[in-house]
Amino acid sequence: MGVSERLAVALDRPLKIAQIAPLCESVPPQGYGGTERVVANLADALVEMGHEVTLFASGDSSTNAYLVPCRERATRLDPNPLKSDTAAHFAMLHEVHKRRHAFDILHFHTDILHFPFFEDVAAHTLTTLHGRLDIDDLGEVLRRWPQYPLASISDHQRRPVSSANWRGTVYHGIPTDLFAFSKHHRGLLAFVGRIAPEKRADRAIEIARRAGMTLRIAAKVDVADARYFHEIVEPQFDAHVDFIGEIGDFQKNDLLGSAAALLFPIDWPEPFGMVMIEAMACGTPVIAWGEGAVPEIVEEGVTGFIVRSIDEAVAAVHRLDTLDRHAVRAAFERRFSAVTMSNNYLRIYAEALRPASRLADNAANRREIRATRGDRALRA
């Protein structure tokens, strides 16, 4: 009996779960997109496990869950220049709020937008924070609404707000049949994701050039990053660089499977890094800078190499033949499958639904309300 089955027996019935996705991309995204892809994998896996899942997302989404379309089309690829992400998300949250008592768990992936509106059911929510947390004002919001249970996507991610109401870290997962294992590669390096200063495509180009290998870049270029692309990255294009642009899962499978390694030369505290586990699913190892969650994802000498400089990265390229692509795939299946991710979320859901847990949360909520009223009285 699997973990999810044991939890279902303990709860005596399948769960009614709402998954609330951002409206920036469809679920799953048509091209680049991390959060919406995670939501797609989670929703489908939970349905497969027998739970009743309702997905609040854009109407161009594709899911095995029951879809509540909250906007006809995801905002990023909507050609209409007159649109409001904030208004679209508020309209969606209004729809979720109307139905909030129909679910055992409301699982939010929309950052902190819902905090002011769902206080009466906070104990029956889970909020996965998908972005970096070392930003101004966020800590104050988490202190103001401590009743909301939170999930992190890596242990490193939560460091700036370590005292928040964390209920667990759940690593992302993808279906084991989404990416095909590739025993052999075609002698190239890959850079996949987004062209941005913190992703350091320029580093990847230098690594490939010094290693004497072709670098295939499959990445989107946002308007905000266009200057970096045109002034820093594009001028380095030469015979060693093959720039493809933004791609979907099918093309990504072919690219990652054909690569000797994925280069992940980031220069920021990456909360997770979805493309790393997509590469591992193909049996492709990862060469990554040891920033953010990288040391939690990459197993040194098993699924790749963690480096600190261009020199170390080039040396790692020349050591790739010491890694076993079968072992890379096996590590992915063990740690980063959609089933593993879903089971870990189910543990958190089950804990929230335990009577003792609910009583403790309700008591904490009452204390927080009394403290807030006392602060207001003092200020008055």
What order of strands is seen across the sheet that includes strand 125-128? Answer: 66-71, 52-58, 16-20, 105-108, 125-128, 150-152, 166-169
**In this predicted structure, what is the pLDDT of residue 369?**
47
Q: Is residue 137 part of a domain?
A: yes
| Residue range 27-32: mean pLDDT, rounded | 80
Q: Is residue 180 part of a domain?
A: no
**In this predicted structure, what is the pLDDT of residue 13?**
78
Q: Is residue 42 part of a domain?
A: yes
Query: 362: which residues sit within 8 A by CB, 6+ positions away?
Result: 123
Q: Is residue 293 part of a domain?
A: yes
Q: Is residue 236 part of a domain?
A: yes
> Do 259 and 281 belong to one domain?
yes
Digit-coded pLDDT (tens) for 69-86: 999 999 988 888 889 999
> Do 140 and 202 belong to one domain?
no
Q: Is residue 245 part of a domain?
A: yes
For residue 262, give its domain range: 188-335
Digit-coded pLDDT (tens) for 86-101: 999 999 999 999 999 9
> Which domain CATH number covers 81?
3.40.50.2000
Distance CA 326, CA 306 (A): 19
> Do 317 and 209 belong to one domain?
yes
> Do 103 and 80 belong to one domain?
yes
pLDDT bracket for residue 239 (50, 70, 90): confident
Digit-coded pLDDT (tens) for 265-314: 999 999 999 999 999 999 999 999 999 999 999 999 999 999 999 999 99
Q: Is residue 182 part of a domain?
A: no
> Do 99 and 87 belong to one domain?
yes
3-class state of residue 323 by DSSP? coil
3-class state of residue 118 by DSSP? coil
Q: Is residue 349 part of a domain?
A: yes
> Do 167 and 275 belong to one domain?
no
Task: Count up the domains in the chain and report the number.
Answer: 2
Distance CA 48, CA 17 (A): 13
**In this predicted structure, what is the pLDDT of residue 376?**
47
Digit-coded pLDDT (tens) for 126-136: 999 999 999 99
pLDDT bracket for residue 56 (50, 70, 90): very high
> Do 164 and 199 belong to one domain?
no
